[in-house]
């Protein structure tokens, strides 16, 4: 009976050929797909299924079995997938693909959310207790700018943007908020340290701002403004943090793979997640530009905000789940 090392040596060449074929088929570069010869894919797939069964029956390592299982899944998808219109793929992604990808990383999402929310709650409580804490977390100049922005009777716009149109503000919010999401994701390559820093940093600043403005009585102007867009914006921020932590985890714990390969595989799973987070941030920017600054009753804005929070949470929890079948 072959031991695992000999088994891997015997079949590694076929596995590498299959991986290269799958990488080409999954590539968005059309000319690579046209040039590649994938006629041996069915044969490699059939052999791989047999090899995976052998590896399981002989009790080979979890890492090897997982690698073969992942290859089988990818090959099966390429052999039997329905190559539909781009629009149908977009609908599938928004209708369930994105939420499924997020749920698969629920542990990292929970960690990302905890880093942001716990920091925000602590700093918000301290800033509400004393203005000295608010100045420590935000700086006196920034605190004064926020007080001026959210002072009752003031048209709420970021400092220096008071005269901008809704469309211009839409573009400003997109650039600002998506850049935050991208920084959280991209800095995950520094073994996750950069992602953790930005999650905590945003928790400190946003928590302190919310706590201080609430304590000085600007409740309706502040919470009325942020209620509508807070759900997609903050949830997208935490999802971006989870995507960044995926990169960091791959570098810290690559398993039996090289760090480069582990990072590449983590990135392939993280990119759809960060794309979905970017779309959520786009929705948040639209709400912020065209709804949040409207002069409406505080109760209306809070009610709409609560509804948007519920819809976002239900979407991430339920979208894309397979229906249960009962006998």
Q: For residue 325, is it within any domain?
A: no
* Burial zone of 153 (CB within 10 Å; 0-12 exposed, 13-18 middle, 19+ buried): exposed
- For every residue of 52-80, DSSP letters joined together read HHHHHHTT--HHHHHHHHHHHHHHHHHHH
pLDDT of 32 reads 47
The HSE-up count of residue 225 (CA atoms within 13 Å, CB side) is 20
Same domain, 210 and 313: yes
Same domain, 176 and 289: yes
Between CA 149 and CA 280, with CA 156 as vertex, the angle to 5 degrees is 115
* Cβ–Cβ < 8 Å for 110, 235: no
Q: For residue 324, is it within any domain?
A: no
Same domain, 117 and 73: no
Q: For residue 57, is it within any domain?
A: yes
* Cβ–Cβ < 8 Å for 256, 262: no
Same domain, 197 and 164: yes
Block residue for tokens 């995926």: 246
Q: For residue 180, is it within any domain?
A: yes
Same domain, 68 and 142: no
CA-nearest of 64, 72, 69, 21 to 46 is 72
pLDDT of 23 reads 82
Block residue for tokens 């959520």: 280
179-190 b/e (C-beta count within 10 Å ≥ 16 → b) = ebbbbbbbbbbe
Instruction: Flag residues of the chain having pLDDT under 50.
Output: 1, 30-35, 82, 325, 327
Same domain, 175 and 51: no
Same domain, 61 and 148: no
Q: For residue 88, is it within any domain?
A: no
Residues spanned by the domain of 58: 4-81
Same domain, 314 and 166: yes
CA-nearest of 73, 75, 80, 204 to 142 is 204
Helix axis angle, 131-138 to 140-149, nearest 10° = 100
Helix axis angle, 166-186 to 193-215, nearest 10° = 140
Q: What distances in angstroms separate CA 297 from CA 215, 220, 234, 302, one per listed residue?
A: 21, 9, 23, 9
Q: For residue 47, is it within any domain?
A: yes
Q: For residue 266, is it within any domain?
A: yes
- Give the number of other CB atoms < 10 A from CB of residue 38: 16
Work out how many domains the chain is built from and give that number: 2
Same domain, 44 and 125: no
What is the spatial distance between Cα 259 and Cα 248, in angstroms, rounded to a whole number? 10
- Give the number of other CB atoms < 10 A from CB of residue 161: 12
> Which of 23, 52, 81 lies at the terminal end of a domain, its last residue?
81
Count of H-run helices and E-run strands, the chain:
14, 0
Same domain, 163 and 204: yes
* Burial zone of 245 (CB within 10 Å; 0-12 exposed, 13-18 middle, 19+ buried): buried
Residue 13 CA to its chain's centroid (Å): 35
Between CA 160 and CA 275, with CA 306 as vertex, the angle to 5 degrees is 65
Tens digits of per-residue pLDDT, 98-147?
999 999 999 999 999 999 999 999 999 999 999 999 999 998 899 999 98
pTM of the model: 0.72
Same domain, 185 and 287: yes
Q: For residue 87, is it within any domain?
A: no
**Dihedral of CA 110/116/119/123: which sign?**
negative
Same domain, 174 and 66: no
> Which of 49, 81, 113 lies at the terminal end of a domain, its last residue?
81
- For every residue of 269-297, DSSP letters joined together read HHHHHHHHHHHHHHHHHHHIIIIITS---
Q: What phi and psi, each to the nearest 5 degrees, are found at residue 263?
A: -65, -40
> Which of 52, 81, 110 lies at the terminal end of a domain, its last residue?
81
pLDDT of 48 reads 83
């Amino acid at each position: 009976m072959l031991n695992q090392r000999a088994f891997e040596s015997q079949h590694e060449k076929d596995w590498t050929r299959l991986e290269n074929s799958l990488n080409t088929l999954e590539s968005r570069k059309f000319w690579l797909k046209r040039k590649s010869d994938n006629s041996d894919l069915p044969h490699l797939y059939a052999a791989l299924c047999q090899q995976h069964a052998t590896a399981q029956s002989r009790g080979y390592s979890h890492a090897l079995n997982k690698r073969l299982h992942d290859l089988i899944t990818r090959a099966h998808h390429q052999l039997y997938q329905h190559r539909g219109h781009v629009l149908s793929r977009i609908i599938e992604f928004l209708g369930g693909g994105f939420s499924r990808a997020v749920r698969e990383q629920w542990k990292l999402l929970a960690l990302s959310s905890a880093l942001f929310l716990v920091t925000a709650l602590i700093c918000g409580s301290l800033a509400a207790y004393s203005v000295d804490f608010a100045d420590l977390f935000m700086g006196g100049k920034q605190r004064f700018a926020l007080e001026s922005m959210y002072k009752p009777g003031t048209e709420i716009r970021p400092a220096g943007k008071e005269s901008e149109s809704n469309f211009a503000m839409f573009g400003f919010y997109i650039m600002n908020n998506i850049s935050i999401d991208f920084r959280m994701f991209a800095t995950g390559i520094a073994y996750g340290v950069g992602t953790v820093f930005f999650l905590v940093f945003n928790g400190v600043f946003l928590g302190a701002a919310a706590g201080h403005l609430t304590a000085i009585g600007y409740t309706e102007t502040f919470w009325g403004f942020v209620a509508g867009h807070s759900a997609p914006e903050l949830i997208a921020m935490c999802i971006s943090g989870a995507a960044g932590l995926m990169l960091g985890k791959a570098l810290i714990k690559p398993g039996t793979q090289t760090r480069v390969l582990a990072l590449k595989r983590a990135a392939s799973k993280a990119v759809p997640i960060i794309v979905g987070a970017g779309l959520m941030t786009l929705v948040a920017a639209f709400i912020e530009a065209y709804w949040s600054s409207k002069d409406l009753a505080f109760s209306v804005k809070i009610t709409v905000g609560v509804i948007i929070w519920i819809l976002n949470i239900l979407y991430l929890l339920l979208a894309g789940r397979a229906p249960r079948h009962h006998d």
